[in-house]
């Protein structure tokens, strides 16, 4: 892995370092052999007003006012920074030139806060790791003092979403082009990156499997009292990511199977005909500590993904969670799923799903179960960051210089 470096991580997500956060895990593993500064998302003006009672907003405001420290040591060699600045809320601006001028101001405010914190920590020649943030971090490679290399990390095709399209469609390619390397968590996203920077690499995805150490008993036995095999899904039930029509078709054609859907629902799922089907059971949102037990109760796991520009390149972390139990899995075929082809039944349409689930129910192959477990457990942040180090060493460590108007 990368060793003996100072690393600054700037992420898009509106959370602080916490359990379950991708950047938390990246930062924590990096900090074992490096000094890491994780920059929490800066407060923007609209959020300061709209979310004024939110705990994180209050924390940001306390930092800005000097009433609380902006730097927090949360683990050996790992600090978080609450930037002492407020950014202008500018994404609504339709004019590229005006947006860019104001975005440069926002970036300068961020850079000033980061440079001040890095100086206090004694950082030298830092690596800049940008997690999908092509707005707030666009100018940071030029504005952060002494940057020795820029890593742009892409794990979602965000420019497919309306909020990011207006300016992201032109800014993300430019940020990729000037980065030292682009790294992605799926083959599809790495291929997208190579359109703008040939130094683009698929470094896979790290997963936290610590919950396997405390797996409780299976979910309530009443699930199998009717003698039907249990076909299950765990995760948020969101119509923009899951194919409701496909799920309805499968359930309607196999009333002899019990379908168990574990997770919170959006309005489309709450209003779907799935709720009228006697062989479909919704559990609602469940504590994360229970989820391993629910997975244990499944005979076959499914991931009926809706294929669209947002989901097509996503790394399916859910699949690793299923495979960690050695479970048979039927999942929608995408380019990002190809790496799982030897361990998962990849499907297109209800007919292939039904055939794959039936095949999974007939399985009695302990060797295959162990191969699935070993494959899933190989997807660690340590291995992902080793791939990142290999990517860095394969290219120049000097960042590209790009001039902006």
Segments making up each domain of the chain, as ranges: 6-206+382-393, 210-379
CATH of 210-379, one of 3.40.50.1370, 3.40.50.2000, 3.30.70.1730, 3.30.210.10: 3.40.50.2000
Task: Choose between 221 and 205: higher pLDDT.
Answer: 205
- What is 145-173 written as a DSSP string? TT--EEEEEE-S-GGGSHHHHHHHHHHHH
Residues in the chain: 405
Residue-level pLDDT at 225: 60
User: Residues 280, 274: contact at Cβ < 8 Å?
Assistant: yes
What sign has the CA pseudo-torsion 44, 63, 85, 111? negative
Q: In whole angstroms, what is the distance from residue 352 CA to residue 338 CA?
A: 16
Two tokens at 49?
């007003």
pLDDT class of 403 with cuts at 50, 70, 90: very low
Q: How many C-beta atoms surround the C-beta of residue 56 within 10 A? A: 16
Confidence (pLDDT) at 405: 39
Class (C level, CATH) for 6-206+382-393: alpha beta
Burial of 87-106, coded b for 16+ CB within 10 Å and e otherwise, reads bebbeebeeeeebbeebbeb
Share of the chain above pLDDT 70, in %: 91
- Asked whether the beta carbons of 88 and 45 are under 8 A apart, the reply is yes
pLDDT, tens digit, 9 for 90 and up, residues 25-48: 788 899 999 999 999 988 889 888
List all residues 6 or more positions away from 42 whose beta carbon is below 8 Å from its beta carbon. Answer: 60, 83, 85, 86, 87, 109, 110, 113, 136
């Amino acid at each position: 892995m990368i060793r003996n470096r100072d690393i600054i991580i700037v992420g898009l997500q509106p959370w602080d370092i916490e359990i379950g956060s991708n950047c938390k895990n990246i930062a924590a593993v990096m900090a074992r052999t490096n000094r890491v500064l994780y920059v929490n998302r800066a407060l923007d003006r609209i959020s300061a007003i709209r979310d004024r009672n939110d705990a994180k907003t209050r924390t940001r405001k306390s930092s800005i006012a000097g009433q609380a420290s902006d730097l927090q040591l949360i683990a050996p060699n790992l600090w978080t920074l609450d930037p002492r600045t407020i950014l202008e809320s500018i994404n609504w601006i339709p004019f590229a030139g005006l947006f860019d001028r104001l975005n440069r101001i926002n970036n300068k405010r961020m850079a000033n806060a980061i440079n001040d914190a890095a100086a206090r920590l004694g950082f030298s020649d830092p690596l800049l790791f940008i997690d999908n943030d092509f707005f707030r971090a666009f100018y940071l490679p030029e504005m952060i003092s002494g940057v020795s290399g820029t890593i742009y990390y892409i794990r979602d095709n965000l420019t497919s979403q309306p909020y990011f399209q207006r300016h992201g469609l032109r800014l993300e390619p430019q940020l990729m082009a000037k980065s030292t390397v682009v790294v992605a968590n799926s083959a599809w996203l790495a291929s997208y990156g190579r359109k703008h920077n040939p130094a683009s690499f698929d470094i896979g995805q790290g997963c936290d499997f610590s919950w396997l150490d405390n797996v409780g008993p299976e979910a309530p036995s009443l699930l199998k009292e009717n003698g039907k095999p249990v076909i299950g899904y765990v995760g948020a039930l969101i119509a923009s990511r899951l194919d409701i029509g496909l799920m309805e078709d499968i359930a309607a054609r196999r009333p002899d199977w019990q379908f168990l859907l574990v997770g919170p629902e959006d309005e489309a799922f709450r209003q779907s005909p799935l709720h009228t089907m006697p062989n479909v059971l919704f559990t609602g949102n469940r504590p994360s500590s229970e989820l391993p037990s629910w997975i244990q109760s499944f005979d076959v796991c499914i991931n009926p993904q809706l294929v669209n520009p947002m989901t097509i390149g996503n790394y399916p972390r859910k699949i690793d969670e299923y495979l960690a139990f050695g479970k048979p899995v039927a999942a929608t075929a995408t380019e990002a799923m190809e790496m799982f082809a030897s361990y998962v039944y990849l499907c297109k349409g209800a007919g292939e799903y039904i055939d794959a689930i039936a095949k999974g129910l007939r399985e009695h192959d302990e060797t295959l179960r162990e191969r699935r477990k070993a494959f899933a457990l190989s997807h660690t942040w340590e291995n992902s960051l080793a791939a990142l180090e290999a990517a860095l060493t394969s290219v120049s460590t000097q960042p590209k210089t790009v001039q902006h108007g």
